Amino acid sequence: GMEYIDSYVFNKAEYIRFNSTVGRFVGYTEHGVKNAEAWNSDAGFLGQVQAQLESYCKHNADIDYSAILDKT
């Protein structure tokens, strides 16, 4: 399978991450945890993120996969 991770970094420190396997945001600092709770509880926002990932990742994975097959 494929996993997509979207990290948010401030002052070189990761404070929040979206992990497609978990399907939600995880916070790593006090600020990140608060954001993660807010974003995870917003079903509309979470659904939008997952839908964008679905279309973006699947589309690009298919292109990359066919490019790899063409070269082998």
Residue 10 has pLDDT above 80, yes or no: yes
Whether the Cβ atoms of residue 23 and residue 34 lie closer than 8 Å to each other: no
Structure confidence at residue 65 as a pLDDT band (50, 70, 90): low
Query: Which residues form the domain of 26?
Result: 5-70
CA distance linking residue 9 with residue 43, whole number of Å: 23
Average pLDDT for 4-32: 91
The CATH number of the domain holding residue 63 is 3.10.320.10
- Classify each residue of 38-59 as buried b or exposed e, where b means 16 or more C-beta atoms within 10 Å of its C-beta: ebbeeeeebeebeeeeeeeeee
Give pLDDT, residue 1. Answer: 67
Per-residue pLDDT tens digits for 22-60:
889 999 999 999 999 999 999 999 988 888 887 877 777
Tokens 């679905």 locate to 54
What is the tally of structural domains in the chain? 1
